Amino acid sequence: MTTIITVTSGKGGVGKTTTSASIASGLALRGFKTAVIDFDVGLRNLDLIMGCERRVVYDFVNVIQGDANLHQALIKDKHCDNLFVLPASQTRDKDALTEEGVEKVLKELEHQGFDYIICDSPAGIEHGAVMALTFADEAIVVTNPEVSSVRDSDRILGIIQSKSRRAIEGREPVKEHLLVTRYSPKRAHEGEMLTYTDIQELLRIPLLGVIPESEAVLQASNQGIPAIHQKATPVADAYQDAIGRFLGETHPLRFVEYEKPGLIKRLFGGK
């Protein structure tokens, strides 16, 4: 059984690609055969975040149009044995992403025995974003604690509920998960930032995890290594917890409570 997970948000810059890379890597690390597909035709970036940009020969659109087969286009990840990346093309022709074409590629991945397919959605609610969610079984909605992100997440949830195949065919609806990213417990504690419970109340979908704001994310993307590999950082641990919860495990939320720095820390500084 293949599960198709769409990582989406509506708004840009909230951490969709970072999340796609880390969730895909995390699932692969747990032994699942996983593919991660960049749906952002014209603005591909998943390859950079995964650190495989120099190994891109063929892309998603090449496979759809029959210029290459899937085997030629899939890039094997450097860090995980059973993880493969399918990059987006850099052509500007967004209509190259046809519904039949996307379905064909997903079916083929299913035949090849993939356990999980992660669809990294582009921002917006246009064709590419709709294609990324059309075949979803589950959706991870990435949201920042910020008004425009929350509103756009609600919009994209509406689109999932009306345009996904599951919705159109009247099957069991797409399972939705909320992932709050770039969260600052201190600012939330001080009333400067929406809390994760506020966001969950507004969007009314189950919370998969809270990823704290962290320097580690930039450090990871600088090097082309998914953030989940940044050992012993709160971001990596929070992603691991989220993956565990996705797989049905229970993990208490970490990195969401603000701890006042002690006297010694205040005197001597430190991060």
Partner 1 sequence: MSWLSLIFGEKKSTASVAKERLQLIIAHERTCASGPEFLPDLQKDLVAVISKYFPVNPDDIKVGLEKQGNYEVLEVNIVLPEGR
Shortest CB 152 distance to partner 1, Å? 11
Span from 4-12, 26-34, 153-161, 262-270 in contact with partner 1 (CB under 8 A): 153-161
The Cβ of residue 200 has, within 10 Å, a number of other Cβ atoms equal to 16
The answer to whether residue 8 forms part of the interface with partner 1 (CB under 8 A) is no
Judged by CB under 8 A, does residue 228 bind partner 1?
no
Binding-site size, partner 1 (CB under 8 A): 17
**Which of 1, 100, 113, 162 forms a contact with partner 1 (CB under 8 A)?**
162
Interface with partner 1, residue 207, by CB under 8 A: no
Whether the Cβ atoms of residue 205 and residue 157 lie closer than 8 Å to each other = yes
By beta-carbon proximity to partner 1, the closer residue of 194 and 225 is 194
Interface with partner 1, residue 147, by CB under 8 A = yes
> Does 13 interact with partner 1 (rule: CB under 8 A)?
no
Which of residues 76, 192, 215, 247 is near partner 1 by CB under 8 A? 192
- By CB under 8 A, tell whether 202 contacts partner 1: yes
Q: Which stretch binds partner 1 (CB under 8 A): 2-10, 92-100, 123-131, 149-157?
A: 149-157
Q: What is the greatest pairwise CA distance in the chain? A: 65
What are the DSSP calls for the chain, one per residue?
Answer: --EEEEEE-SSSSSSHHHHHHHHHHHHHHTT--EEEEE--TTS--HHHHHT-GGG--S-HHHHHTTSS-HHHH-EE-SS-TTEEEEPPP--S-GGGS-HHHHHHHHHHHHHTT-SEEEEEPPSSSSHHHHHHHHT-SEEEEEE-SSHHHHHHHHHHHHHHHHHSHHHHTT-SPPEEEEEEEEE-HHHHHTTSS--HHHHHHHH-S-EEEEEEP-HHHHHHHHHT--GGGSTT-HHHHHHHHHHHHHTT------S-S--PPPHHHHHH---
Per CB under 8 A, the segment of 16-24, 101-109, 196-204, 218-226 that binds partner 1 is 196-204
Which of 6, 8, 195, 240: binder of partner 1 (CB under 8 A)? 195
Decide: is 154 part of the binding site for partner 1 (CB under 8 A). yes
Please report how close the Cβ of residue 172 comes to partner 1 at its closest, in angstroms. 20
Cα separation, 27 vs 32, whole angstroms = 6
Q: Which stretch binds partner 1 (CB under 8 A): 148-156, 170-178, 205-213, 216-224?
A: 148-156
Which of 79, 104, 127, 151 binds partner 1 (CB under 8 A)? It is: 151
Interface with partner 1 (CB under 8 A): 147, 150-151, 154-155, 158, 162, 188, 190-195, 198, 201-202
